[in-house]
Amino acid sequence: MSLTAHAARAGAGSPPSRGWQLGARVGYALSMGGLDANSNIWDQYAGWIPLGIEAGYRFDPGFYFGGTLLAGPGVISGWDHVCSDGSVSCGRQAFQLTLGPRFYSAGGVWGGFGFGWELATTQISGAGASSSATWSGPVLLDLELGGDWRFGRLSVGPFVSLAFAKYVERSQSPTPAGFSSWFPMSVHAWPTLGVHGTYGL
């Protein structure tokens, strides 16, 4: 076999028939929908930058099941007039943990779905005082579609996803008078575009 043919074969690469698979991803997610029934999530998050790791098992070349953990900084909305004040420091973070299957085609295109849990935090500090708030709730459905360029056991490619979630719990520190952890709930969504890579063990 010539060197050129060997390189082409290695670049095309076939997916592992079965075994453990590790992965990583990075993307940008826009925010849509409600933080609760009375406010838009855009008021707090214009979006976030999810950085993720994943691990799971490839049962055959076309089927994988695993989990993905995402964490990253939130992007503060331009509508947040408190955080636009130069004397105030603000921070946003978001986290997601999902589990689900992924289905691969022979041509490298894959799709999947998952369910899990999401948590988002906000922090504000200034003038000698600070406060924070946390929202959490289920990821109702996370849909994904991507493509792989395979190099032996390594694959890299773009992906798009759309996750629907609903916050069902909230907390605030310090806790203001009359605060209730109950609130009218609403569904929000994160459409995401990013790059994804995996390695088959």
Q: Taking the domains of the chain in order of start, what are their residue ranges? A: 17-196
- Amino acid of residue 11: G
Q: Which fold has domain 17-196?
A: Porin (2.40.160)
pLDDT of residue 161: 98
Where are the strands (E) in the chain, listed by range? Answer: 19-30, 32-36, 39-40, 45-48, 51-60, 63-76, 89-104, 109-126, 129-147, 149-151, 154-166, 169-173, 187-200
Judge contact between 113 and 143, C-beta under 8 A.
yes
Question: Distance between CA atoms of 201 and 152, rounded to whole angstroms?
Answer: 11
Name the token pair of 40.
């838009």
**How is residue 61 annotated by DSSP?**
T
Chain centre to alpha carbon of residue 12: 28
pLDDT of residue 81: 63
Question: Distance between CA atoms of 115 and 21, rounded to whole angstroms?
Answer: 19
Q: Which residues pair with 155 in a beta bridge?
A: 150, 198
pLDDT of residue 171: 87
pLDDT of residue 85: 66
What are 123-182's pLDDT values in tens digits?
888 777 788 889 999 999 999 999 999 998 999 999 999 999 999 988 888 877 777 766
pLDDT of residue 16: 66
pLDDT of residue 44: 82
**How is residue 42 annotated by DSSP?**
G
Judge contact between 189 and 161, C-beta under 8 A.
no
Using 70 as the pLDDT threshold, list the residues of the chain that sit under it.
1-16, 78-82, 84-86, 181-182
Question: Distance between CA atoms of 157 and 147, rounded to whole angstroms?
Answer: 5
